[in-house]
Amino acid sequence: MAITKTDFMRGMQCRRMLWLDKHRPKLRVIPPEVQERLNAGNDFGDRAMGMFGPYEEMTVCLPGKQIPDKKAMVERTREALQRGVDVICEAAFSDYNNYCAADILRRTDRGHDLYEVKNAHHVSEQFIRDAAFQNYIITRSGVKIDRIFIVIHGPDEENPFGPVDVTREAKGYYSWINENIWDLNRMQKEKEEVIVQPGDQCTEPYECWYYGYCHGGTEDRRDPDLLDGLFP
């Protein structure tokens, strides 16, 4: 696969970060609380799958692993779309090997609505960019996206899910994604380390896991495969 949603977001925060992900992932130092969150998975996301009633989930793992089998998921999604399934979860798409999996895709009269689920109480610009990347890949795969929502926590237990319509903002990122995705694709394959000097991007919007390395720290650590599986 070429660029995934996570690759794109990390590469746009810092190109060196994406290069290190691809070539030297063992340099990552992941804060314990982030590691715990990754290990625990996303209970809110799991529950949100059922917010519209019955659904079909497209997740397929590689044999004996917790890592998504992206090719099989794309194929399974294609088949579900052909059958006209109303609600598809973890719907996977690929365009020139660039890849995304949408949390929820819901059939409408005009195409499909896209729902990106976030375990949060407010919509951030980063969330909208996540959804925008999916819209880009899905649209180029030939599926028409109608409206785009970020699903955050609702106001109370009786209304646990609060979809926020971000259609206009997310679709507005289409050109920005197109302008950058091919450059990131090319850059990540470079043999020599891509050097970016440390700066504000090391902590914004997220603290970089290579902070110690770029600022003169140490090596380690955890199993890079784990992250590949958790960040489709």
196 counts as binding ligand SF4 under rule CB under 6 A: yes
CB of 216 to ligand SF4, least distance (A): 11
Question: Rounded to the nearest 5°, which phi and psi values hold at 205?
Answer: -80, -10
198 counts as binding ligand SF4 under rule CB under 6 A: yes
CB of 218 to ligand SF4, least distance (A): 13
58 vs 208, beta carbon nearer ligand SF4: 208
206 counts as binding ligand SF4 under rule CB under 6 A: no
143 counts as binding ligand SF4 under rule CB under 6 A: no
227 counts as binding ligand SF4 under rule CB under 6 A: no
8 counts as binding ligand SF4 under rule CB under 6 A: no
Q: How long, in residues, is the chain?
A: 232
CB of 150 to ligand SF4, least distance (A): 25
Nearest Cα to Cα of residue 143 among 84, 200, 190, 199: 84
CA 16 vs. chain centroid, Å, equals 19
What letters, b where the CB count within 10 A reaches 16 and e where it falls short, cover 84-108? ebebbbbbbbbbeebbbbbbbbbee
CB of 221 to ligand SF4, least distance (A): 15
Q: Report DSSP state, residue 194.
A: P
202 counts as binding ligand SF4 under rule CB under 6 A: yes
- Residue 194 tokens read as 């891509």
- Contact between 125 and 132 under an 8 Å Cβ cutoff? The reply is no
20 vs 132, beta carbon nearer ligand SF4: 20
Q: Give the strand order in the sheet containing 159-165.
A: 56-57, 87-95, 98-108, 111-117, 145-156, 159-165
CB of 174 to ligand SF4, least distance (A): 26
DSSP 3-state of 210: coil
156 vs 200, beta carbon nearer ligand SF4: 200
Q: Which stretch binds ligand SF4 (CB under 6 A): 25-33, 37-45, 147-155, 206-214?
A: 206-214
14 vs 177, beta carbon nearer ligand SF4: 14
Which segments within the chain are labelled E, that is strand?
Answer: 56-57, 87-95, 98-108, 111-117, 145-156, 159-165
CB of 102 to ligand SF4, least distance (A): 27
211 counts as binding ligand SF4 under rule CB under 6 A: yes
- Residue 115 tokens read as 């729902």
Residues that bind ligand SF4 (CB under 6 A): 14, 16-17, 20, 196, 198, 201-202, 208, 210-211, 214
